[in-house]
Amino acid sequence: MTAFIQLRVVLLCGLLGYPAVACGKGKEGVSVMVPEQASRGELVEMAVKVRPSARQLDYQQREMLGFIHFGMNTFTGAEWGTGKEEPAIFNPSRLDARSWIKTFKDAGVTGVIFVAKHHDGFCMWPTKWTDHNISRSPYKGGKGDLIREVSAACRELDMKFCIYLSPWDMHEKSFGTEKYNDFYVKQLEELLTNYGPVYLLWFDGAGVDSKVNGKQTPFDWERIFKKARELQPDVLLSGAAPDVRWGGNEMGRGRETEWCVQGITASSRLFGGNDVGIRAKDRNLGSIDSLAGKKRLVWYPS
């Protein structure tokens, strides 16, 4: 079966034209705690002290990354799967990961995000932690590993390799319980130790709360992000994560002004999920008035 492959270049909006912006000491950025009842003038003074980390600045200077979503949905035609699809459905016959990456490189893109697992839970690498993975498909006689193929192509062509790992998993039975944190961390460990450097991890926000998935899942974000930093200190954490936030829509629309300094209600540096005092869909996000009543000011680009 020959599948139609769509390579989508996704513009990841950031701050443009900022060569004078400096990082904090070392590689980490600078955030500022906000005292209670801070005046508007005080908020202005604190906001200008916030600085990006080295990883955030590098990300924003790239301006654009590529995005590849090739998986079970390629063969079913569905946007979101159900987790009940048979692995045998996944059976590409003329897949050439190198040609994907070369297409992006020729277009001037410097890094590519590859979907390792979407919401249906089907894993594009032979993970030890679920049978719902590529080794149970006919691809390469059960010896296929698309994470290895794409990461190898990125290294060969000097491109940054990035991974999308959906927190939502419709197939995994432990999803919705504390045990799912163990499952998710083990999958992260595989991806961050077996495939070389990973530039960015995308933790998609879909399904991280009960509004979409129907289950109030107790994600241990601090543990998840701490493990990622432990295994690869320079990896960017994007999406429902502390380095890069969701832009607020999936229609290519931006705000009139997009601020990188944001006010959050979380005190931890490794904050996650969607409950940090930021309403991603707001048209006014990051203005001085919107920072009032927050606990901390952080560099948090779109």
Which DSSP state fits 273?
S
- Bridge partners (DSSP) listed for residue 65: 10
- The answer to whether residues 229 and 267 belong to one domain is no
Q: What pLDDT shows up at residue 26?
A: 60
Inside any domain, residue 7: no
The confidence score (pLDDT) of residue 96 equals 97
Query: Does residue 1 belong to any structural domain of this protein?
Result: no
pLDDT score at 215 = 82
Give the residue numbers spanning the domain of 156: 63-241
| 50 and 67 assigned to the same domain | no
The CATH number of residue 197's host domain is: 3.20.20.80
pLDDT, averaged across the chain: 90
Q: Which pLDDT tens digit goes with each residue over 92-146?
A: 999 999 999 999 999 999 999 999 999 999 999 999 999 999 999 999 999 999 9
Q: How confident is the model at residue 19 (pLDDT cuts 50, 70, 90)?
A: very low
Arithmetic mean of pLDDT, 71-93: 95
Residue 6, in any domain of the structure:
no
Q: What is the tally of structural domains in the chain?
A: 2
214 shares a domain with 69: yes
Q: Are residues 52 and 71 in the same domain?
A: no
pTM, whole model, 2 decimals? 0.89
| Cα distance between residue 57 and residue 19, in whole Å | 10
* Residues 185-237 pLDDT 10s: 999 999 999 999 999 999 998 878 787 888 888 999 999 999 999 999 999 99
Residues 6+ apart with CB under 8 A from 177: 217, 218
pLDDT digits (tens, 9 = 90+) for 168-184: 999 999 999 999 999 99
Q: Pairing state of beta strands 236-239 and 244-245?
A: parallel
- Give, in order, the Cα–Cα distances in Å from 174 to each of 41, 47, 171, 178, 227: 49, 41, 9, 8, 20
245-268, pLDDT tens digit by residue? 998 988 888 898 999 999 999 988
Which one, of 299, 302, 300, lies nearest residue 50 by Cα?
Answer: 299
Q: Which of 18, 20, 24 lies closest to 51 in space, CA to CA?
A: 24
